[in-house]
């Protein structure tokens, strides 16, 4: 056996360990640039979850600010951000549209029945085609569209209270969305 090859496991381990370390020491957070920022949200025509006879297009989203949230039942992080979404739905008048990504409709409907439904519409994207159009990396992801349907902000990962306070709420206020129980800065949590 080649002696150098004996060092391969050690090398792999050091790599994994580094990953573990940076994952642990999440100092450097930066936003992921989206190709869609300040561009129009892509045209689409998608069926509604549980109501396959009905479908909506990009035009249905226009006229008011919209949060487009990509989620799935196989995604534990989606469950952990769900409460925040429910709260946004309860305390603001922003329109929230869900994209059920690579999922089974029966499971998704059961999930919504169990944990609550913050969405005005949920699009059925079981094969992930709409996800490709949107440039989705994984779930959850959230896009903020203005009334003209342009993407003003994109969040890859969960909407947690910190992200809501520091990134999402201020942008919603800028777009003219009213947030119950908030001052002008939108910083207070309901």
Partner 1 sequence: MIPELGNFALVLASVLALGGAGLGLYAPREPVLQSGVLSMVFGQWAFSFVAFTALIYAFVVDDFSVSYVANQSNSLLPWYYKVSAAWGGHEGSFLLWILIMGTWMLAFALRSDQYPDRFTTRVLGVLSLLNLGFICFALFTSNPFLRLIPLSPADGADLNPLLQDFGLIVHPPLLYAGYVGLAIPFAMAVAALLEGRVDATWARWCRTWTNMAWALLTCGIALGSWWAYYELGWGGWWFWDPVENASFMPWLAATALVHSLSVTENRGTFKSWTLLLAITAFSFSLLGAFIVRSGVLTSVHSFAVDPERGMYILIFLALVVGGSLSLYAARAGQNTAKVGYEVLSREFFMLVNNVIMVVSLAVVLWGTLAPIGYEAITGGRISIGTPFFNAFFVPLGLMLLGALALVPVLNWKRTRAQVLASVYQALGVSVLLGGLIWFALDPASLLVAGAVGLSVWVVLTHARQLWFRLGKGSVPAAYIGMTLAHLGFAMGTTGIAITATQSVESDVRMSPQSSIVLAGQQVTFTGVIDVLGPNYGAQQGIFIVTDGDRSYELRPEKRQYFAGGNTMTEAGISAGFLADTYISLGEPLEGGAWAVRAHYKPLVRWVWLGALLMAFGGILAVFDKRYARQRRRQEARQGEVTLS
- Applying CB under 8 A, the residues found at the interface with partner 1 are 1, 3, 6-7, 9-10, 13-14, 16-17, 19-24, 26, 28-32, 72, 74-78, 80, 102, 106, 109-110, 113-114, 137-141, 155-158
42 or 116: whose CB is closer to partner 1?
A: 116
Helix (H) or strand (E) holding 183: none
Burial of residue 172, with CB atoms counted within 10 A of its CB: 0-12 exposed, 13-18 middle, 19 or more buried: buried
Burial of residue 35, with CB atoms counted within 10 A of its CB: 0-12 exposed, 13-18 middle, 19 or more buried: exposed
Give min distance, CB of 26 to partner 1, in A. Answer: 6
Give min distance, CB of 93 to partner 1, in A. Answer: 26
38 or 166: whose CB is closer to partner 1?
A: 166
Give min distance, CB of 62 to partner 1, in A. Answer: 27
20 or 181: whose CB is closer to partner 1?
A: 20
* Region at 146 (left for phi over 0; alpha for psi -120 to 50; beta for the rest): beta
74 or 93: whose CB is closer to partner 1?
A: 74
- The answer to whether the bond into 33 is cis (omega within 30° of 0) is no
Query: CA–CA separation, 43 vs 7, rounded Å?
Result: 51
Give min distance, CB of 76 to partner 1, in A. Answer: 6
**Phi, psi angles (nearest 5°) of residue 144:** -110, 120
44 or 115: whose CB is closer to partner 1?
A: 115
Query: CA–CA separation, 12 vs 189, rounded Å?
Result: 44
Give min distance, CB of 177 to partner 1, in A. Answer: 23
């Amino acid at each position: 056996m080649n002696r150098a090859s004996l060092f391969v496991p050690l090398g792999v381990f050091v790599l994994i360990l580094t990953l573990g370390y940076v994952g642990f020491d999440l100092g450097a957070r930066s936003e992921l640039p989206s190709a869609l920022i300040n561009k129009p949200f892509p045209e689409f025509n998608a069926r509604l979850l549980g109501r396959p006879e009905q479908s909506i297009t990009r035009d249905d989203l226009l006229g008011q600010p919209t949060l487009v949230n990509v989620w799935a039942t196989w995604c534990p992080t989606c469950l952990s951000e769900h409460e925040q979404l429910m709260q946004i739905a309860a305390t603001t008048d922003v329109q929230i549209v869900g994209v059920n990504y690579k999922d089974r409709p029966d499971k998704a409907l059961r999930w919504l029945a169990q944990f609550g439904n913050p969405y005005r519409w949920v699009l059925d994207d079981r094969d992930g085609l709409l996800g490709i159009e949107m440039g989705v990396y994984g779930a959850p992801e959230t896009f903020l569209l203005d009334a003209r349907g342009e993407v003003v902000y994109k969040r890859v990962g969960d909407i947690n209270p910190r992200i809501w306070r520091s990134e999402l709420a201020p942008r919603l206020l800028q777009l003219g969305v009213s947030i119950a129980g908030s001052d002008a800065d939108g910083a207070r949590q309901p």
